[in-house]
Amino acid sequence: MGQAGRTIAPGTGTTPRRNRGFTRRRSYLKMIFSRSIPKRNYRDYRLYRPLLRQDFQHRCAYCLIHEFFVGGEAGFEIDHHRPLHGPYARPDLEAVYTNLYWSCSECNANKGDTWPSPEEYEMGVRFLDPCQPDDDHDLHWKFHPDGTLQALTLIGAYTEEKLLLWRPFLQERRAQQFRDQEEAEELEARLKRKQVNPGRRRELEQRLAEIKRRLEPPIFDRARWGDRIPHA
């Protein structure tokens, strides 16, 4: 993310890289998460929630959906990448920050206790791990403008199958994002032309602002008892 003080937790093998952003054409799904080193270690993993949201840029580690589109923070959960239960449980990693991933509720529920067997692992079958170097989403899938995914690797195929990343809602969302990016580029190009009359210019600017709100969505924290009611 290029911010001062941003470093990577030891033991992840991750090297810091710049976030290339979401607004560049056809590259919005290319995203590299970089982890902060927590200022303190908690025994209750839920206390890492604010840091996780920030490190994962308010997006699901697996399907990349932004919190905004699934009800804000309330539509997300903390995933234990190595599950706490099931045949390959690692309860010792319950509160280890590098085992915590910010995930939409649906991906987290689909993932459950699923983990590849040692035999599968040996064959190169595993979940995509966006916190590892060279494990970017677009190395494992090709994203088509109609929102469909095409797995390019065993990792891509396994992750898509187990997390149901082909689900129609995600397809629709990805397709919309492609359309938004194309339209934003087109509008920006039109606004650069000098001969646009002021009324038309205002319309184009308004339309561009609406699209940008979807491309870089606002953040909504979960509402809690005692919060101040906005505009009250």
Chain contacts with Zn ion (rule: CB under 5 A):
60, 62-63, 104, 107
For 148-151, the CB contacts below 8 A with 24+ separation are 149/174
What torsion, rounded to 10 degrees, do the Cα atoms 208, 210, 215, 221 define? Answer: 150
Task: Name the residue nearer to Zn ion (CB basis): 147 or 184.
Answer: 147
Tell me how far, at minimum, the Cβ of 191 lies from Zn ion, in Å: 34
SS3 13: coil
Helix H or strand E segment including 223: none
- In three-state secondary structure terms, 182 is helix
Question: Between residues 51 and 60, which has the closer beta carbon with respect to Zn ion?
Answer: 60
Smallest separation (angstroms) from Zn ion to the CB of 128: 11
Residue 80 corresponds to which tokens in the numbers above? Answer: 């234990």
CA 204/CA 177 separation, integer angstroms: 19
Closest approach, Cβ 153 to Zn ion, in A, equals 19
User: Is the Cβ of residue 60 or residue 184 nearer to Zn ion in the bound state?
Assistant: 60
Rounded to the nearest whole angstrom, what is the least distance from the CB of residue 53 to Zn ion in the complex? 14
Q: Which is nearer to Zn ion, 156 or 187 (CB)?
A: 156
Amino acid 157 reads A
- What is each CA distance from 210 to 72, 213, 215, 216, 225, in whole angstroms? 18, 5, 9, 10, 31
Closest contact distance (angstroms) between CB of 110 and Zn ion is 8
| C-beta closer to Zn ion: residue 8 or 104 | 104
